[in-house]
Amino acid sequence: MRTAIRSMIFLAFVMTSAASAETPKENVEADASTRQVAITSSFTGTEILVFGAVGNSVQPSPEAGTYDVIVIVEGIPAPVVVRKKSRVGGIWINTQALKFSSVPSYYAIASTRPIDEIADRSVLDAHEIGFDHVSMIPESGTANAAEFEAFKQALIRLKEDQHVYVRSDFGVSFVGRSLFRATIALPPNVPVAPLTARVYLFKAGQLLGQYSNRVMLQREGIERYIHETALSQPLLYGLATVLLAAASGLAAAFAFRKPV
């Protein structure tokens, strides 16, 4: 009897293992349409296409909604100071300020639907998915929880007004059972620094996989020469700027002088 029971247990284990082996897990592979963007003096913004595929997809059609995809393109963190103005004696002046030591310089997020419908807050916080879930670190001892949240929301609104924080709740679309795509806009004022593109695959609120790669933003042409000169030779850059301004002023005065 014991031998028979052991044989049955062993057979069930083998069958479970075989079933697991026959059903490979879903995963995600992705890439960007370009790995390098040239920033020149005539740069007016551009778009990058983030595309990918769900491996071992069980989705019957693009409209089925079996999977959710979130695409994030993020710039390197940088310090930011947010100031609050108040009316004092009939004049608006800066009365409070909070310095964030680390804030993404650029943050674009696109998803198949609103992210709060895709995953729980704990998951979004853990992976810093979404404006409200991005880690924004203030200097210690500068604000209580309520003040910090008010300054954080003000910072997000400011970044949105500058078009360097962009959100598209339905910006990711499936074009097949497994293929998806999203278009991310880079504005003319995008900070020139490496960007990280991240892709997350969800199913029924569970994170199935993620993928990331780099997109390089680099100054080219006269823009790069001026930038490097300003950093490496600030005195020469300053003198050249003054001379150029003086020459422009003289040229304008000559061109628009009144006839005698």
Residue 175: both structure tokens together:
């074009």
CB 213, CB 31: distance < 8 Å: yes
- Residue 117, domain member (yes or no): yes
Answer yes or no: is pLDDT of 176 > 70: yes
- Residue 16, domain member (yes or no): no
- Residue 256, domain member (yes or no): no
Answer yes or no: is pLDDT of 174 > 60: yes
Q: Number of structural domains, the chain? A: 1
Widest CA span in the chain: 123
Order of all β-strands in the sheet with 165-168: 36-39, 206-219, 195-203, 68-75, 107-111, 165-168
Choose between 174 and 241: higher pLDDT: 174
CB 85, CB 64: distance < 8 Å: no
Question: Model pTM?
Answer: 0.77
In whole angstroms, what separates CA 199 from the centre of its chain? Answer: 11
- Residue 257, domain member (yes or no): no
Confidence of residue 155 (pLDDT cuts 50, 70, 90): very high
Q: Which residues contact 128 (CB under 8 A, 6 or more apart)?
A: 134, 135
- Residue 238, domain member (yes or no): no
Answer yes or no: is pLDDT of 251 > 50: yes
Choose between 170 and 217: higher pLDDT: 170
State the Cα–Cα distance between residues 118 and 242, nearest whole angstrom. 55
Phi, psi of 147, rounded to the nearest 5 degrees: -65, -40
Taking CA atoms, 217 is separated from 43, 186, 214, 224, in Å, by 12, 10, 10, 12
CB atoms closer than 10 angstroms to residue 104: 25
- Residue 248, domain member (yes or no): no
Three-state DSSP state, 141: coil
State the Cα–Cα distance between residues 176 and 66, nearest whole angstrom. 12
pLDDT of residue 83: 87
Mean pLDDT of 60-83: 94
Mind listing the pLDDT tens digit for each residue in 4-36? 444 434 434 434 444 444 568 999 999 999 989
- Residue 237, domain member (yes or no): no
State the Cα–Cα distance between residues 63 and 113, nearest whole angstrom. 13
pLDDT of residue 97: 86
Host domain of residue 175: 23-219
Mind listing the pLDDT tens digit for each residue in 99-149? 898 899 999 999 999 999 999 999 999 999 999 999 888 876 556 888 888
- Residue 134, domain member (yes or no): yes
Mean pLDDT lowest among 44-53, 98-107, 140-149, 201-210: 140-149
